[in-house]
Amino acid sequence: MTTHLSDNNGINDDHYLPGDGRIDWDVVEDAFPKTNYSGALLLEVVPRMGDGMKPEQFVRAAFSRAELLREKIGQLNSAGDVSQRAAP
């Protein structure tokens, strides 16, 4: 099982970095099942034209936002690290 996460402008499927669109992530947090979800969280994002970020900066920003979302919905392992950590 996986959970697909992305942000948007409320009209299109824009794949913004979480927090850059109109999704209310506090509502997502409240609606997420209060279980020990161990499935994958898939962050589907696309760089926005004209944002001025280099590819490396975008990847780091995406990883950072993914970590924040995992913390928000309780996906930390017992060591406090993000499960299935990828290299930033």
User: Which alpha helices (DSSP H) does 1-88 contain, by range?
Assistant: 25-31, 55-72
Average pLDDT over residues 3-17: 90
The more confident residue out of 76 and 2 is: 2
Q: What percent of the chain has pLDDT over 70?
A: 77
Q: Distance between CA 49 and CA 53 in Å, rounded?
A: 9
pTM of the model: 0.71
For the stretch 69-78, pLDDT in tens is 888 776 544 3
- Do 1 and 36 form a contact (C-beta atoms < 8 A)? no
Helix (H, G, I), strand (E, B) or coil at 28: helix
Statement: residue 28 has pLDDT above 60: yes
Q: What is the pLDDT of residue 50?
A: 80
